[in-house]
Amino acid sequence: MLDYLVSIILTAGIYAIFALGLNLQWGYAGLLNFGHVAFMAIGAYVTVLLSMNGIPIFLAVLAGMILAGAAGASLGVATLRLREDYLAIVTIGFSEILRFVLLNWSSLTRGSFGLFGYPRPFQDLVGIRDYNLFLAGLVIAVLLMVYALLEALARSPWGRVLKSIRDDEAVAVSLGKNAFSYKVQAIALGSAIAALSGSLLAFYLQYINPNNFQPVETFYAWIMVILGGSGNNRGTILGALLLWGFFSTTRFMEGYLSFSPSASSAARMILIGLILIGLMMFRPQGLLGRKEELSIGR
Amino acid sequence: MADEMLSVNSVRKSFGGISALDGCSLRVEEGAIVGLIGPNGAGKSTLFDVISGFVQPDAGCILFSGREILGMPAYKIARLGLVRTFQIPRSLMRMTVLENMMLGAQGQAGERIHLSLLRRGRVMAQEKDIQEKAEEILQFFDLLRMRDEYAGSLSGGQKKMLEMARALMADPRLLLLDEPFAGVNPALADRLIERIRILKERGLSMVIIEHAIPYVLALSDRLYVLNKGAVLASGHPQEVISDRRVFEAYLGEGDNAQP
């Protein structure tokens, strides 16, 4: 039972970090990133590949974050001068292209066989038996650090400029703010945070494969952000906990159904979908969102 | 001339074959209020868009304090002290009135991501100063009691006031006001005229687009009439307004028409 609880904390925590990166982009800057999973994949693969080649593990994590941030910034520079929906198309395309490159660049990534047997932080010190418990602690610590960083930024004048761009970019520009630069910064930082979650995911899974990074992962992050209330960091974390809570508790339900395994896992997704629809009907602003913000017309 | 704040020369702009500005020229002297009137579609708002860098013109030359600003990104023009407002008030709806105001301040260290994290003390001190200034200006516009409301919940007239108040946070030297009186009730409008006069006394130059002629006449030192993208008449407001051509531009030509 403890193992099970630890595994929920690990997945929910890792996905909360992942979704916090998206919340910075969507909730604060209003940027439509539909390829967020790509940056998680960059984090996981860069960390694993570098550490397998003898690079110290923390440097490898940092390298993944920097590379993901740079990739995000480049996509932003290329598309943000166009209409905002172009970013959505380009990012979802990027995430699929990246997945296929990872699948087919076998000499580097071993393709769909995936990578395993790579080092994990402090694995010799902690030992294999308690490793997940240790990693859960590490994930919670990283989550709290990311949360504190994002909250400090959200309350700073920098965050104020981001919110103004989300509400009406022309106003920000008319008051001397370089909106383009802020949007690129938000994409880069959000992508680096996604990469960090990717490194942690790799440590947890002990095995990574390009198909861990399907487009649906991006939309899990979207659900977490919207469920909790866009632009609310605590809401995003709560959204991650809830979504993973649903995934885990409905798993027990499968035992009581006399469906075939594939039908009962589909039934589970239907149930989760219904719960989400219900929640959005009763609290359209998200669990911790502010109702006033929805009722304000433009 | 050294005391010239803004000089717009022969600006042209067409949108897909339709000419919005057709050789438009305009001057604003330092400390002056210039009125800009003209029938709908005359190009007034397009002229504001071009001056403030939101729209790039096809030809022409724009000098602000003797410096060429044509082709400069809009945010840089605003930083030079040339700030515009919008015809339809653009409040940042999901931010409070105070947040709207504080956004307007220039040279904020905390707007740079590394300084906002690493120089907390300096940023906090600056925030305090900015907030005091914002509250002072809100007081000036009778908006102080709305300080913590969402800007989206203000009335139309209040949004107009907030728009102007927020622009003042940027310490402009030249303010472009696009229909500041639209949607403002007559009692409030008299107060607004007073306020604009006070701002002028403090040395602020302004260009005001306005359809309500009495307000324009009450405020302007110089009046420009725009028609079909070009200046039809300019000069002393009372003389310009009694010009027959101006009358015709608004109401169409007619033999028996009397101004």
Which tokens is A237 given?
């974390």
pLDDT below 50 — which residues of chain A?
297-298
At A246 the pLDDT is 81
Task: Measure Cα distances from A6 to A3, A9, A247, B1 in Å.
Answer: 5, 5, 15, 75
pTM for the structure as a whole: 0.89
The string of DSSP codes covering A196-249 is: HHHHHHHHHHSEE-GGGG-HHHHHHHHHHHHHH-TT-HHHHHHHHHHHHHHHHH
Task: Give the mean pLDDT of chain B.
Answer: 89
Please, are residues B67 and B61 in contact by the beta-carbon 8 Å criterion?
A: no
For domain B4-91+169-251, the question of CATH label 3.40.50.300 is answered with: yes
At A288 the pLDDT is 82
**What is the average per-residue pLDDT within B210-215?**
89
Residue in chain B lying closest to A291 (CA):
B94
- Partners of B19 in beta bridges: B14
Residues of chain B numbered 105-144 and touching chain A (CB < 8 Å)? 106, 108-113, 116-117, 123, 127
At A155 the pLDDT is 92
At B88 the pLDDT is 83
The whole-angstrom separation of Cα A210 and Cα A101 is 9
Q: Predicted confidence band at B200 (pLDDT cuts at 50, 70, 90)?
A: very high
- Partners of B36 in beta bridges: B209, B224
Please, are residues B225 and B234 in contact by the beta-carbon 8 Å criterion?
A: yes
Residue B174 has pLDDT above 80, yes or no: yes
**What is the average per-residue pLDDT within B167-194?**
91
Distance from CA of B256 to the nearest CA of A (A): 46
| Partner-chain residue, chosen from A174, A177, A296, that has the shortest CB–CB distance to B153 | A296
Distance from CA of A183 to the nearest CA of B (A): 12
Mutate to test the interface with A, among B52, B83, B116 (most CBs of A within 10 A): B116
CATH 3.40.50.300 domain residues, chain B? 4-91+169-251
| Residue among B217, B240, B182, B92 at smallest CA distance from A172 | B92
The whole-angstrom separation of Cα B15 and Cα B10 is 17
Residue in chain A lying closest to B156 (CA):
A298
Report chain B residues whose CB lies below 8 A from the CB of A174: 52, 54, 74, 78, 83-86, 167
Distance from CA of B53 to the nearest CA of A (A): 9
Distance from CA of A43 to the nearest CA of B (A): 22
ipTM field: 0.89
**What is the average per-residue pLDDT within B121-146?**
94
